[in-house]
Amino acid sequence: MHGTRILQEADRLMTVCNSCRYCEGLCAVFPAMEMRRAFSDGDLNYLANLCHACGACYTDCQFSPPHEFNVNVPKTLAVARAESYAAYAWPRAFAGAFARNGLLISLIAALSVAAFIFGFAAINDRGVLTGIHTGPGAFYKLMPHNAMALLFGAALLYAMLALVMGVRAFWRAIGEPVGMKTDAKSLLQAVRDAGELRYLDGGGVGCFNEDDHPTDRRKLYHHFTFYGFMLCFAATCVGTLYHYLLAREAPYAWWDLPVVLGTLGGIGLVVGPIGLLSEKWKRDRVLVDEQQMGMDTAFILMLFLTSVTGLALLLWRESAAMGPLLALHLGVVFALFITMPYGKFVHGVYRFVALVRYARERQMTAE
Amino acid sequence: MVDLTRRFDVLVIGGGNAALCAAISARRAGASVLALEGAPKFYRGGNTRHTRNMRCAHDAATEILTGPYTEEEFWKDLLLVTGGQTDEELARFMIHESKDILNWIVEQGVRWQPSLGGTLSLGRTNSFFLGGGRAMLNALYRTAEELGVDVLYNAEVIDLKIEDGMFLSAQLKQPVGGKTEVRASTLVAAAGGFEANIEWLKEYWGEAADNFLIRGTPYNRGAILKMLLAKGVQEIGDPTQCHAVAIDARAPKFDGGIITRHDSVVFGIVVNKHAERFYDEGEDIWPKRYAIWGRLVAAQPDQIAYIIFDSTVVTSFMPTLFPPIAGATIAELAGKLELDAPALEKTITDFNAAVQPGTFDHTILDDCATQGITPAKTHWARKIETPPYLAYPVRPGITFTYLGTRVNKQSRMLMKDGKPSANMFAAGEIMAGNVLGKGYAAGIGMTIGSVFGRVAGREAAKNARN
């Protein structure tokens, strides 16, 4: 017996699939399943997070609905995956954040933006918020750099702590294989698999989304989003290093590294989320966990808002709109940071961990 | 919408591998093609949806095949499984053509993968479909549709107009739209056998057929085959025979597919409803043994049997869809199976007493055998003595039938007088009996379907142009 109804169903499906195995070549889930004959809650959560939701196994399955065996692996694992996010959330008291996630993230984002606008207005003299500021340190007229670094550093540290604690719980539940902590090879393999989205391709033809014609669009948009995010993150890191190591203060010229990285990343984070959202809306409902739509949409929109407000700030930083735009951008980014452990962001972390474990399992069976 | 008032060059009846290969090859040869699939879209493809590999000859190892499998070796394997019940000319032609199919089918969008876990014995001879038979079908349908083949589902053909071996038209019945006369210059019949037609099976098997489970969809009713044979096409293959394996008795009546099969016979004993053994469970290795147990069970009272083993061997075979039925004692297990407990206890006690010492190895014909009981278990005999005691109830699972239409190397049907039909072709299970008079070799049904489907489509297109 399993802890939840959906894990019970996942167990039933894995029993069906394990006696068939036709999908073995499609992704990592089925080979991982074949290494087991019985499935614990942790095993099922591992498989759920290993699944990239490419949909191929649904389209290829001779037992998918309306067949009486009613095999719908992508949807079942999607529900189990979403439930696993709540199950491993830290602190436990915040697990409920996943329940009405879309609403919660929207509220936090709105409050965060409002706090920055009112904060800027309250702290500074009248006129500073809508004044024109240029040259090095312009942003810090509205908020001192150290305050900014402290606030965002703290938010990021908290998010990382919460994520690490979540991963720890996940890692324990799925059962740590021997030798894991020192295994660089599995780690590298997982980095490659995640970086290429190796398992979001239906075994080579592409992802099944709105019908039985596979395409590479979801993979492409996800690449835009992920690498856009990484570039933006790199821009922030370089800016911080400039500030503390070279004593060069933002804003930087358009050709300077932080701006180039941020602009490229920003473009990725506009194109990617729009694409992902449109693919999501087109997606065949039979593959979709409707409960999760709010969470997915909220995260995609937060990424989109981060890039749009960032790019707007770049465009109008020398105008009177700079102050409100800075407040808007910082508000969105702050909300993004503190909600990272309690929204769709965690999918990347848990899936990566699942890939590490899978790489290790593969290695151990090969040895 | 498909324009049914026009006259098509090629009418394909059926929706599986053979039908799609025929439709695609006819379309590639420039013909207009209509394919009529009797099943709804989800169940399209007949038995193809449950297949997973194809046996093709090849002279060298490939990316997914571990070594060469020459035409001669393929031919010898075919001779072995059919006991010589094959048309040598057609069979050798098919084997030769199969070499090219390995690439041709990939050009039609099908993707290969190495043999699945648990089927390593096929790694050299058989190419597996990535994602299985339904993935293969989906790829063929996508290609057919992109090429402009018209496909209709729920398209039941209720009559064929044939005069002197010449196809004129087909009477189509659709749930919406009713009856329509479909005209075409040529016909490719690729509509499979009659394994899902219990009434027809009863003609040969009597009431026992009521206890058969059908491994494929309920749509394989053999209606087209029956019409063709009634209208002067020469028949081939033993009408009384079908391919049957032992499948779990708890499986659904239709379409349980591959996952209901059991291959645990060698690890225990098999008893009938009187709790008596009836055949040597250790006679042969997989896959030969696999295909005999269906008919063995079919010959037992009420067409039911029970594979009985103990807890020491549970992990020796692939995990099963239905869990084994368990009992802490033989008597308890007998109770759950509704068998006579003293009888089962006696059968197992006698069996255990007859087991001789030996070195167990299920990958070869080992030296673990019984002595002094009938029937003997000639290999892999080990005592059943470690509780819990476990059992799978099994029934005959019918895969396909052997009766079909006679064809020549053009896949052209031959009439009862031996003359080739003017414009009728057949491919796939409906003509498999030409090559496979009895028995089975893994993946050969798909070879027959693809090779003769491709030939039939090409020849039909040529025929339509003339």
List, for residues A57-68, the tens digit of each pLDDT value: 999 999 999 999
Report the number of distinct structural domains present in chain B.
2
Is B1 within the bounds of a domain? no
pLDDT in tens, B276-287: 999 999 998 766
Co-location of A47 and A108 in the same domain: no
What is the distance, to the nearest Å, from the Cα of residue A184 to the centroid of all Cα atoms in its chain? 24
Q: Which of B397, B412, B443 is the last residue of a domain?
A: B397
Q: Which of A87, A109, A135 is the last residue of a domain?
A: A87
Residue the block writes with tokens 């063709």: B228
For residue A77, the enclosing domain spans: 5-87
Chain A CB contacts of B42 under 8 Å are 66-67
From B64, which residue of chain A is nearest by alpha-carbon distance? A25
pLDDT in tens, A354-364: 999 999 999 88
Q: What percent of chain A has pLDDT over 90?
A: 89
State the average pLDDT over residues B321-345.
Answer: 97
Co-location of B383 and B280 in the same domain: yes
- Residue B120: the pLDDT is 67
In chain B, which residues touch A (CB < 8 A)? Answer: 42, 49-50, 52, 111, 113-114, 116-118, 128-135, 138, 142, 252, 255, 257-259, 315, 318-321
- Residue A178: the pLDDT is 58
Co-location of B232 and B133 in the same domain: yes
State the average pLDDT over residues B84-100.
Answer: 97
State the average pLDDT over residues B394-407.
Answer: 97
pTM of the model: 0.95
- Taking Cα atoms as reference points, which of A365, A350, A352, A59 lies closest to residue A203? A59
d(CA A90, CA A73) in angstroms, rounded, equals 28
- Residue A310: the pLDDT is 96
State the average pLDDT over residues B140-158.
Answer: 98
Co-location of B164 and B231 in the same domain: yes
- Residue A181: the pLDDT is 67
Nearest by CB to B113, from A18, A25, A34: name it: A25
Torsion region of B206: left, alpha or beta (phi above 0 gives left; psi -120 to 50 gives alpha)? left
- Residue B296: the pLDDT is 94
- Residue A182: the pLDDT is 66
Q: Which of A65, A87, A109 is the last residue of a domain?
A: A87
Co-location of A110 and A37 in the same domain: no
Could you tell me the CATH number of the domain that includes residue B227?
3.50.50.60
Co-location of A29 and A144 in the same domain: no
**Helical H runs in chain A?**
5-18, 29-34, 41-50, 56-60, 73-87, 101-123, 145-174, 184-196, 217-241, 257-282, 293-315, 322-339, 346-366
| pLDDT over 80 at A165, yes or no | yes
Q: Which of B397, B416, B441 is the last residue of a domain?
A: B397
| pLDDT over 90 at B119, yes or no | no
Per-chain mean pLDDT for chain A: 94
- Residue A14: the pLDDT is 97
pLDDT in tens, B38-76: 999 999 999 999 999 999 999 999 889 999 999 999 999
- Taking Cα atoms as reference points, which of B453, B403, B407, B406 lies closest to residue B428? B453
Q: Which of A56, A87, A118 is the last residue of a domain?
A: A87
- At B362, the pLDDT band (50, 70, 90 cuts) reads confident
| DSSP secondary structure, A255-272, as one string | TSHHHHHHHHHHHHHHHH
In chain A, which residues touch B (CB < 8 A)? Answer: 15-16, 18-26, 31, 34, 37, 56-57, 59-63, 66-69, 202-205, 212-213
Task: Give the torsion sign (CA, A349, A350, A356, A362).
Answer: negative
pLDDT in tens, A228-239: 999 999 999 999
Residue contact B259–A19, C-beta within 8 A: yes
Nearest by CB to B319, from A15, A62, A205: name it: A15
Beta strand B235-236 with B404-405 is antiparallel
Is B407 within the bounds of a domain? yes
Co-location of A124 and A80 in the same domain: no
Co-location of B315 and B379 in the same domain: yes
CA distance A67 to chain B (A): 8
For residue B316, the enclosing domain spans: 248-397
Residues 6+ apart with CB under 8 A from B443: B51, B53, B54, B55, B122, B125, B126, B127
| pLDDT over 80 at A180, yes or no | no
pLDDT in tens, A68-113: 999 999 999 999 999 999 999 999 999 999 999 999 999 999 999 9
Nearest by CB to A60, from B132, B258, B320: name it: B132
Is B311 within the bounds of a domain? yes
Co-location of A177 and A279 in the same domain: yes
Co-location of A326 and A188 in the same domain: yes
Mutate to test the interface with A, among B111, B136, B253, B259 (most CBs of A within 10 A): B259
- Residue B322: the pLDDT is 96
Co-location of A27 and A100 in the same domain: no
- At A313, the pLDDT band (50, 70, 90 cuts) reads very high
d(CA A129, CA A143) in angstroms, rounded, equals 10
Co-location of B274 and B330 in the same domain: yes
Mapped to the 3 state alphabet, what secondary structure does A15-41 carry?
HHHHCCCHHHHCCCHHHHHHCCCCCCH
- Taking Cα atoms as reference points, which of A335, A295, A313, A343 lies closest to residue A113? A335
Cis peptide before B375 (omega within 30 of 0): yes
* AA letter at A42: G
Co-location of A40 and A127 in the same domain: no
Co-location of B278 and B348 in the same domain: yes
- Residue B312: the pLDDT is 95
The CA-based dihedral angle spanning residues B63, B67, B72, B77, taken in that order and rounded to the nearest 10 degrees: -100
CA distance B402 to chain A (A): 24
- Residue A48: the pLDDT is 98
Co-location of B230 and B132 in the same domain: yes
- At A175, the pLDDT band (50, 70, 90 cuts) reads confident
Residues 6+ apart with CB under 8 A from B39: B15, B45, B46, B153, B154, B217, B219
Co-location of B337 and B432 in the same domain: no
Chain B CB contacts of A57 under 8 Å are 131
Q: ipTM of the assembly?
A: 0.94
Co-location of A245 and A271 in the same domain: yes
pLDDT in tens, B229-278: 999 999 999 999 899 999 999 999 999 999 999 989 999 999 999 999 99
Co-location of B35 and B117 in the same domain: yes
Most confident option among A118-122, A180-184, A331-335: A331-335
Co-location of A23 and A37 in the same domain: yes
Co-location of B230 and B350 in the same domain: no
- Residue A365: the pLDDT is 84
pLDDT in tens, B296-330: 999 999 999 999 999 999 988 889 999 999 999 99
d(CA B291, CA A181) in angstroms, rounded, equals 48
Co-location of A187 and A255 in the same domain: yes
Tokens (6 digits) for B115: 């043999």
Is B2 within the bounds of a domain? no
From A213, which residue of chain B is nearest by alpha-carbon distance? B142
Co-location of B147 and B279 in the same domain: no
What is the distance, to the nearest Å, from the Cα of residue B185 to the centroid of all Cα atoms in its chain? 31
Report the number of distinct structural domains present in chain A.
2
pLDDT in tens, B202-235: 999 999 999 999 999 999 999 999 999 999 999 9
Q: Which of B367, B397, B427 is the last residue of a domain?
A: B397
- At B292, the pLDDT band (50, 70, 90 cuts) reads confident
- At A183, the pLDDT band (50, 70, 90 cuts) reads confident
Co-location of A33 and A121 in the same domain: no
